[in-house]
Amino acid sequence: MPSAMPSVTAASDARLIPAQRSRRRSQGEPTAPLGSLTQRSEHTRATCHECGGTQLTRLQMRLTDGTDVMFSSCHRCESRRWDAGGVELSMESVLARTRKTA
């Protein structure tokens, strides 16, 4: 007995899924080692610039304008910091760099 549902081809499936950017790195970019929240040996030796605490959440990301930044948040004093190339960025600078471009 034939199915009442129409068959969906691969070509029509592609129209249902929005196009996404490739998450692959270019071959020239080195991969940074990933940290671990549960394995102490995997923690980095980074310290908070305000209190010297060692429990930091650190996220490496690329802003809308292409700037590579490291966001750090301290669990002890709750300070937050954005760094680009070892230089601290102000919140205003980060917000300006993340605005959508026309």
Return the pLDDT at 92.
94
Mean local confidence (pLDDT), 36-57:
76
Reply yes or no on whether the pLDDT at 95 is more than 80: yes
Q: What is the pTM of this model?
A: 0.56
Spatial CA neighbour of 57 closest among 40, 70, 41: 70
The secondary structure element, H or E, covering residue 101 is none
Look at residue 56 in the predicted model and tell me its pLDDT. Answer: 87
56 φ/ψ angles, rounded to the nearest 5 degrees: -120, 145
pLDDT band with cut points at 50, 70 and 90 for residue 26: low
pLDDT tens, residue by residue, 63-89: 999 999 999 999 999 999 999 998 999
pLDDT of 3 above 60: no
SS3 content of the chain, % helix, strand, coil (to 5): 15, 20, 60
